Structure 1
């Protein structure tokens, strides 16, 4: 089964950073990555019914227009099964509590620990393969 990970961040360099960090996995076809640079663009990707199975969404919190926290309940309504992990530069306890109360699975702080991110992705891939 082909799986998709969606990364939502208004900063264009995040796309290059994720592609660089996951280049081996992407070349090997372990999963695909899509990138949305706004919350509305992310909703379009989430609501698309064709293509690989969307299993994980990483979203920045602070974005112009609709924030990641405003996006979260819309994602929950459209795809209650989707794992959502929020990303922020502000990893204080209040932000963590707000993110978890809104329905996110977790919170990762910037600068992003890609070892932690890779472990999360491996966990999700294992769950799909039934090897957990």
Structure 2
């Protein structure tokens, strides 16, 4: 059983930045970071691995081709409600934030991401899970 953070963004450079910025924190917390270039790629991965997770936190971009973050959020709530989803976007418009939270996101982060705040959030999440 594993603790995993799945990061979904259609920009490969963004995924690399996440891996670099969160690498030390992930190692310290004993979590694995998985990256995906599309929601569909993530869903394929999840369907064959969901039973291996103690905790799965999903960081998903909203604006992506094929399947956007809101569609992924709906899919996850219908099929895997036990996993937390944090939406992220460059959109700071209140309607996007409200829509994400109404659809079940546990948080909404605006880009550019404040990695120090994200590290603290992940530390809180995984420390809580490891002591439950």
Task: Confirm or deny a common fold (TM above 0.5).
Answer: yes
Q: Partners of 1:52 and 1:101 in 2: how far apart? A: 25
Unaligned runs of 5+ in 2: none
Q: Partners of 1:54 and 1:77 in 2: how far apart? A: 18
Q: Partners of 2:55 and 2:8 in 1: how far apart? A: 13
Q: How many residues align?
A: 131
CA contact (8 A) 1:10 1:38 kept: yes
CA contact (8 A) 2:4 2:56 kept: yes
Matches within 5 A, 1:75-86: 75-86=76-87
Cα distance per residue 1:90-131 (max 9 Å; x no partner): 122111110011111110000000011111111111121127
Partner SS state of residue 22, structure 1: helix
**Greater helix fraction, Structure 1 or Structure 2:** 2
Q: Residues 54, 42 of structure 1: CA spacing in aligned structure 2 closer, same or farther, 3 A cutoff?
A: farther
Matches within 5 A, 1:5-84: 5-28=5-28, 30-49=30-49, 51-84=52-85
Unaligned runs of 5+ in 1: none
Q: Residues 54, 37 of structure 1: CA spacing in aligned structure 2 closer, same or farther, 3 A cutoff?
A: farther
Superposed CA RMSD: 1.7
> Normalised by the size of structure 1, how large is the TM-score?
0.90
Q: Partners of 1:130 and 1:41 in 2: how far apart? A: 31
Q: Residues 115, 3 of structure 1: CA spacing in aligned structure 2 closer, same or farther, 3 A cutoff?
A: same
Q: Partners of 1:23 and 1:42 in 2: how far apart? A: 20
Partner SS state of residue 120, structure 2: helix
Larger RCO (CA under 8 A, 6+ residues apart)? 2
